A and B are shown apart, each in its own frame.
Chain A
Amino acid sequence: MLDYTVRRLGVGVLTVIAVTVVLFGIMQLMPGDAIRLIADPDRIPPERIEELRRQWGLDRPAHVQYFYWLGNLLQGELGHSIVTGQEVGVLIASRLPFTLLLAVTSMALHYAIAVPLGLVAAVRSGSKLDHGIIVTTTIFWSIPGFWLGILLMLLLSVHLRWFPISGYQGLSSMVVPVMTLTLPPLGGTVRLTRAEVLDTIRASFVLTAHAKGLGRLSVHLRHVLRNALIPVTVMFFLGLPWVVGGAVIIENIFAWPGMGRLLWMSITNQDLPVVQGIMIMIAVLTVVCNVIGDVVSGLLDPRIRIALEEAGGR
């Protein structure tokens, strides 16, 4: 298992490095370079621009620039915002908690709602309740997140005036954005939980548990749910980066002062160092979550572990 974890981590590190290469490559494709963004070529003489370019190392070959940039990155040096001059690390650190607050709250809420619903739907499978749960969550599933956000804002903030419309004015501001992030993906998790529970219910060890006289509730919670939740737990880790990705758009509807809002403003201002910094943050988060997801699935389910070890880690 340790061997597998180490190998998985290695692949994770490789992936992050590849992402930095891709990001650096994309940014190299920009017409002109960083100087163009801060110095107006009409007002500053070309010799001065050349001098600046040399000072910033922009006259060096791309791979030299890349390793220089990567070196700084490893020391936590993400550069400075072209627009405000603030350190990118500081800027992101000031916004990250807001995004994590949204993402983690809605993930927790999501699973707190979806798992019981999926279990109930499976146990009562074929009933009206099962049908109702599946239909309702499927409807939310097909509503685009950002439009659901607008609708909820219209209903709860504009019409009923229960919550602030936008910005961050205390915890009540969180309600509508969290609902927007929680409701659409419910369908997927409810279906996954339902399918896994239905699979497990048919297993022979569950029959044994029933046969030895355990109560229904005890069988469902201790034997069925525990096994059915393995893929659901893995999905939790694999899903977290997607919630952060979703938050990038949702934050902009509600003017939520998180990383997504910062990313959007930086893109609009072509503030490359900030965009790069946020992308790397999200890439690292995603890779870490994927590794944790893989390792957790191996820990929880010996069959997966054995299969992975036999397949040579990949």
Chain B
Amino acid sequence: MKDASPLRLALRNGQFVAGAVIFLSVLLVAAFADQLAPRAYDAMDLPHRLSPPGPGYPLGTDEFGRCLTSRVIHGARIALRVGLIVVTVESVIGVTLGLVAGYYGGWADRVISFATDVTWSLPPIVLALAIVTVLGPSLNNVMIAIAAVSWGGYARLIRAKTQGLKNTPFVEAAQAVGESNFSVMFRYILPNTLGVIMVLGTLSLPGAILSTTALSFLGLGSQPPSPDWGVILNRGLRHLHEAPWVSIFPGLGLVWTALGFNLLGEGLRDLLDPQLKA
């Protein structure tokens, strides 16, 4: 057991392997969308509008006769990019605030903790809607809005971790040899929290993707003819009766992606921080 390499440990973790395989599948589809998609995602074929899945169009077509296969494949690219950007931004905000609150304590801690409470006093999706109202509907604005309301979890977690690490000998040693506060926070404490940040980031990815897709579904994010899964679902709802496949396949993509990140995150948590497991 003792000489088990990290790789071997990872491969023995079923959740991690399953999550990694699903994540890789989505990543490959997103990376090679241009090669994999049978047609351009916005190429219309009006005579074949709303045709069911069949030989010509494996997943059928939408209201403009656009190939649903190609649209769902290109949608993976948007979903993945959105998820990664949102999670990066929210974790940078949350981790920085958490470090400052935990390290300095006192007033900085009180102000930051109160700000966290305030962002938590509205359901994130509702607060994001307020921001989108002001910025106007677009995918970028939705990403800004979601990132701006969902850093609270990171701040809380890193604050607690920092408080725990602050009085450990290696941090005190760093302070004793005259390292600046900035250096202590980012070069000594931060590296020791990277594990939990990775776990939390992976577990927040599905939420970030689902929230932006939901806002795009409401018509407040990506705009047609974007192959965003939310946009496809929005248009599909109008033709639920005659063309249910338009509403089914983008959702499957969404569930597949979310499932992959959830498994990957839970696997990572078992591997990196067994204590976190409730």
Contacts and interface: CB of A to CB of B under 8 A. Distances in A.
Give the most central of B118, B240, B259, B278: most A CB within 10 Å.
B118
Given A30-B134, A154-B240, A15 B125 contact: no
B114 A18 contact: yes
Nearest to A195: B278
Contact of B121 (A15, A26, A146): A15
Nearest to B217: A146
Nearest to B119: A22
A52 to B, nearest CB: 21
Nearest to B254: A144
Interface residues of A, number: 47
A252 B251 contact: no
Interface string B114-130: 10011001111111011
B interface, by DSSP: helix, strand, loop or mixed? Answer: helix
Interface in B234-252: 236-237, 240-241, 244, 247-248, 251
A176 interface: no
Interface residues of B, number: 39
B222 interface: no
A271 to B, nearest CB: 9
A268 B122 CA distance: 20
Contacts of A287: 121
B214 A249 contact: yes
Give the most central of A23, A142, A252, A264: most B CB within 10 Å.
A142
Interface in B218-276: 218-220, 233, 236-237, 240-241, 244, 247-248, 251, 254-255, 258-259, 262
Given A19-B118, A252-B218, A268-B219, A153 B240 contact: yes
B132 to A, nearest CB: 7
Nearest to A14: B114
A150 to B, nearest CB: 5
A203 interface: no
Contact of A283 (B114, B121, B210): B121
Contacts of B114: 14-15, 18
